[in-house]
Amino acid sequence: MYIGIIERKGHVLTKSTLQCLSQVASINPTLGCVHQCAYCYARGYSMYPGDGKVFVYGNMPEKLRKELSTRRKLPAYVFFSPTCDVLQPIPQVLQITYDLLHILLEHGVGINLLTKGRIPANFFPLLKQYKKLTHIQIGITTLERDIQKKIEPYAATPRERIRNMEQLCAIGIVPEVKLDPLIPGVTDTAENLTALFKVLQRLGVNSTGINYLFLRPQIKKNLHKALENTPFLSKILEHYQNCKSMNLLAEQSRVIALGVDYRKQAYENISRWAKEFGIYAYVCGCKNPDITEEPLCGTNWGRHFEKILVQKHLFKEGI
């Protein structure tokens, strides 16, 4: 593993190339990610430094302070992070992430952090102090370590992510779970997801976003590398046979997606399973434009939570 410290030349707060986040301030503290998830679209980007290399923007906290001081209006919140996990198990990455969070929160700027990493102990006092400004999303699709370590070799284990949730709930921050990406025939089964939902119910987690894996040339290549000589590979690829490409609003690109009928039926099933455990499941339109037009996972973050509150009320009332 090579860790390099580089300087950020441009603005710290940027607009993501993802359409669903195009109106949202976002931060990418690094180039590259040590997690090396087989389904990661960023591993196919031209600017990706290659597996085993992570470059950290060492001057980013200083630049962020200056940037905030010159803004007439501060953003309502900042998204961490469109192209890398900011909680990679690298000391330099964790320190930069902590400093950036601290600066934003002390300026009254909310943070929306999505991670498949382990949250360090020293983060919790900071998050607790600013819990009204903090929204955490934990990416997890299975409790089965044998499956997870194949597709997310260096990310936090399922047990560590559940521990993240326990610690967040203990300080008054109920995280949201992202079932993204679900892998057909592997992690979208009733047995796999009901086991996960049972644990989430115990923790008090009551909201989850759901989305299926898209195939791109680089992702297909990475899946072959990660899952060769396992029964998972053929099981996954057979689901994508004869599937058509789809224009993905989230990145203005085309991907191979599961058939719309398959996804619709699967989302209905998953939503029903989740409801049995008191969990509201939603589908975002930025990754499923042929199913819904609402871009719930990014652009309309405020509207998203307003809608979730309404849906939860209707859900509890049985309407």
Spatial separation of the C-alpha atoms in residues 144 and 192, rounded to whole Å = 8
Average pLDDT, the chain: 89
pLDDT of 298 above 70: no
Number of Cβ within a 10 Å radius of residue 109: 20
pLDDT at 308: 42
Using one digit for the tens of pLDDT, what is the confidence trace for 35-51?
Answer: 999 999 899 888 899 99
pLDDT at 302: 52
Which amino acid appears at position 35 of this protein?
Answer: H
Name the residue with tokens 């109106």: 23
- Among the ranges given (110-124, 261-275, 294-308), the one the predictor scored with the smallest mean pLDDT: 294-308
pLDDT at 318: 57
pLDDT of 213 above 80: yes
Using one digit for the tens of pLDDT, what is the confidence trace for 156-197?
Answer: 999 999 999 999 999 999 999 999 999 999 999 999 999 999
Using one digit for the tens of pLDDT, what is the confidence trace for 263-295?
Answer: 999 999 999 999 999 999 999 877 888 888 766
Spatial separation of the C-alpha atoms in residues 317 and 319, rounded to whole Å = 5
Answer for the pair 13, 25: CB distance below 8 angstroms, yes or no: yes
**With bands split at pLDDT 50, 70 and 90, how would you rate the model's confidence at 304?**
very low
Instruction: Indicate the domain borders of the chain.
Output: 2-317
**With bands split at pLDDT 50, 70 and 90, how would you rate the model's confidence at 55?**
very high
Question: Which token pair is 200?
Answer: 């989430």
Spatial separation of the C-alpha atoms in residues 259 and 182, rounded to whole Å = 14
Residues 6 or more apart whose CB falls under 8 angstroms from that of 8 comprise: 57, 59, 60, 63
Closest CA to 124 of 114, 116, 112, 136: 136
pLDDT of 307 above 60: no
**With bands split at pLDDT 50, 70 and 90, how would you rate the model's confidence at 312?**
very low
Indicate the pTM of the whole model: 0.90
Name the residue with tokens 């029964």: 231
Residues 6 or more apart whose CB falls under 8 angstroms from that of 233 comprise: 223, 224, 227
pLDDT of 317 above 60: no
Closest CA to 82 of 142, 19, 36, 133: 19
pLDDT at 191: 97
Residues 6 or more apart whose CB falls under 8 angstroms from that of 315 comprise: 275, 280
pLDDT of 198 above 50: yes
pLDDT of 301 above 70: no
pLDDT of 315 above 60: no
pLDDT at 56: 97
In order, the DSSP letters of 203-232 are HT--EEEEEEPPB-HHHHHHHHHHHTTSHH
Q: Does residue 21 or residue 165 have the better pLDDT?
A: 165
- C-alpha dist (Å) from residue 226 to 44, 148, 221, 229: 15, 11, 9, 9
**With bands split at pLDDT 50, 70 and 90, how would you rate the model's confidence at 105?**
very high
| Percent above pLDDT 70 for the chain | 87
Rounded to an integer, the average pLDDT of 24-31 is: 92
Q: Does residue 301 or residue 54 have the better pLDDT?
A: 54
* CATH, domain range 2-317: 3.20.20.70
Question: Which token pair is 37?
Answer: 């998830």
pLDDT at 129: 98
pLDDT at 225: 93
